[in-house]
Amino acid sequence: MTDTLYRCGCNPFAQTGRSKLQNKRVLLNQQIIKQMRMRAGAENLLKATSNNKVREQVVLELSYVNSDLQLLMEQLEGLNSSVEVYQNVQETSSIPLIPLGLKETKDVDFSVALKDFILEHYSEDGSNFQDEIDDLMDLRQACRTPSRNPSGVDLLANYFSQLSFLETRFFSPTRQIGIFFTWYDSFTGVPVCQQNISLEKASMLFNMAALYSQIGTRADRQTQTGLEDAIAAFQKSAGVLHYLKETFTHTPSYDMSPAMLSMLIRLMLAQAQECLFEQITLPGIRNEFFSLLRIAQEAAKVGETYGEVHQSMIQTPIKNNVPFFWTTMSELKTNHYKSLAHYFVSTALLDHQLTPSDDEDKQEKALSQIYDAMPEGRSPLDILKDKEERRRIGKAHLQRSIMGHEEAIRIHSRCRDLQKLYILSDILQAGLRRSLTKFEQNDKEEEFTDYMLAPDIISKTEKKAEMEIPAATKVKVKDLFQRLGPLSVFSAKQRWSAPRTIRLRLQDRDLGFTLKGDAPVQIQSLDPLCPAAAEGLKEGDYLVAVGDTECRWLGVSDVMKLLKDVDEEGVNIRVVSMLDSSSQPMPTKSATYGGLPKTYSMICLAHDEDDKKSRKVAKKPSFLSWGLKNKQKSGSTLSLPNADYNGPWNRPCPTYPNSYNESALY
Residue-wise pLDDT tens digits, 383-438: 888 888 888 899 999 999 999 999 999 999 988 888 888 888 999 999 999 999 99
Q: Is the pLDDT of residue 245 over 90?
A: yes
CA 1 vs. chain centroid, Å, equals 27
Q: Which is more confident, 337 or 474?
A: 337
Closest-CA residue to 280 (of 238, 228, 331): 228
Give the pLDDT band (50/70/90) at residue 449. low
Least confident of 161-165, 637-641, 649-653: 649-653
Residue that terminates a domain, selected from 41, 62, 82: 82
- Give the span between the Cα atoms of 212 and 269, in whole angstroms: 12
Q: Residues 422, 376: one domain?
A: yes
Say if residues 268 and 234 touch (Cβ distance below 8 Å): yes
d(CA 318, CA 256) in angstroms, rounded, equals 12
Question: Cβ neighbours of residue 600 under 8 Å, at least 6 residues apart?
Answer: 36, 40, 593
Q: What's the rounded Cα separation, in Å, for the pair 420 and 439?
A: 30
Residue 491 placed within a domain: no
Choose among 384, 344, 342, 386: nearest CA to 365: 384
Answer yes or no: is 224 within a domain: no
Which residues touch 103 (CB under 8 Å, ≥6 apart)?
183, 184, 185, 186, 203, 206, 207, 210, 253, 255
Q: Is 535 exposed, middle or buried (0-12, 13-18, 19+ CB in 10 A)?
A: middle
- DSSP for residue 137: H
Instruction: Tell me what pLDDT residue 641 has.
Output: 63
Final residue before a domain boundary, out of 59, 82, 105: 82
> Do 447 and 514 sit in the same domain of this protein?
no
Residues 308 and 423 in one domain: yes
Q: What's the pLDDT band for 358 if we cut at 50, 70, 90?
A: confident
Using alpha carbons, list the distances in angstroms from residue 658 to 30, 184, 509: 21, 19, 84
For 583-606, give one letter per residue: b (16+ CB within 10 A) or e.
eeeeebbbbbbbbeeeebbbebbe
Query: What per-residue confidence (pLDDT) applies to 233?
Result: 95
Query: How far is residue 52's CA from residue 59's CA, in Å, rounded to a whole number?
Result: 10
Q: CA-CA distance, 37 to 483, in Å (whole number)? A: 43
Regarding predicted confidence, which is higher, 557 or 156?
Answer: 156
Q: Is the pLDDT of residue 336 over 90?
A: yes
Which of 30-44, 546-560, 563-577, 622-636 shows the lowest mean pLDDT across its residues? 622-636
Q: Is residue 442 part of a domain?
A: yes
- Give the pLDDT band of residue 242 (cuts 50, 70, 90): very high
429 & 374 share domain: yes
In a domain, 170, yes or no: no
Based on the domain organization, do 528 and 435 belong to the same domain? Answer: no
Q: Indicate if 520 and 443 belong to the same structural domain.
A: no
Domain assignment present for residue 279? The answer is no
pLDDT band at 617 (very low <50, low <70, confident <90, very high): very low
Predicted local distance difference test score (pLDDT) of residue 602: 32
CATH number at residue 562: 2.30.42.10
- Dihedral angle over CA of 653, 658, 663, 665, nearest 10: -20
478 pLDDT more than 80: yes
% of the chain at pLDDT higher than 90: 36
Q: Do 358 and 438 fall into the same domain?
A: yes
Give tens-digit pLDDT for 121-135: 888 888 999 999 999
Query: Are the C-beta atoms of residues 229 and 216 closer than 8 Å to each other?
Result: yes
Task: Identify the weakest region by mean pLDDT among 11-25, 214-228, 369-383.
Answer: 11-25
**Are the beta carbons of 486 and 543 closer than 8 angstroms?**
no
Indicate the Cα dihedral angle 301, 305, 307, 311, nearest 10°. 160
- Give the chain's mean pLDDT: 80
pLDDT surpasses 50 at 625: no
Could you tell me if residue 218 is inside a domain? no
Per-residue confidence (pLDDT) for residue 653, from 0 to 100 = 39
Task: For residues 431 and 542, state if they share a domain.
Answer: no
Mean pLDDT calculated for residue range 373-380 = 82
Cα–Cα distance for residue pair 117/495, rounded to 1 Å: 12
> Quick one: 442 and 511 in the same domain?
no
User: Distance between CA 220 and CA 239 in Å, rounded?
Assistant: 22
Q: What is the pLDDT of residues 64-107, one digit of tens each?
A: 777 777 777 666 666 665 665 555 655 567 888 999 988 989 99
**Cβ-contact 333, 492 below 8 angstroms:** no
Whether the CB-CB separation of 109 and 485 falls below 8 Å is answered with: no
* Total count of domains within the chain: 3
> Angle at Cα 527 formed by Cα 521 and Cα 532, nearest 5°?
70
Whole-number pLDDT of residue 561: 82
Half-sphere exposure of 305 toward its Cβ, with a 13 Å CA cutoff? 27
Span of 284-293, 398-407, 498-507, 622-631 with lowest mean pLDDT: 622-631
CA distance 530 to 1: 44
- Tell me what pLDDT residue 91 has: 58
Is residue 326 domain-shared with residue 405, that is, in the same domain?
Answer: yes
If asked whether residues 315 and 452 sit together in one domain, one would say: yes
Q: Are residues 301 and 427 in the same domain?
A: yes
Amino acid 478 reads K
**291 in any annotated domain:** yes
- DSSP lists the bridge partners of residue 500 as 575
Structural domain contains residue 512: yes
Kindly report whether the peptide bond that precedes residue 499 is cis, defined as omega within 30 degrees of 0. Answer: no
Give the Cβ contact number of residue 24 at 10 Å: 15
**Residues 177 and 112: beta-carbon distance below 8 Å:** no
- Report whether pLDDT(2) > 80: no
* Element containing residue 591 per DSSP (H, E): strand 590-592
Alpha helix stretches (DSSP H) within 486-597: 531-534, 556-563
State the Cα–Cα distance between residues 324 and 63, nearest whole angstrom: 24
Domain boundary among 577, 593, 618: 577
Domain of 453, in residue numbers = 285-461
Q: Cβ of 469: how many Cβ atoms within 10 Å?
A: 16
pLDDT at residue number 502: 84
Average pLDDT over residues 108-128: 90
Give alpha helix (H) positions in 504-620. 531-534, 556-563
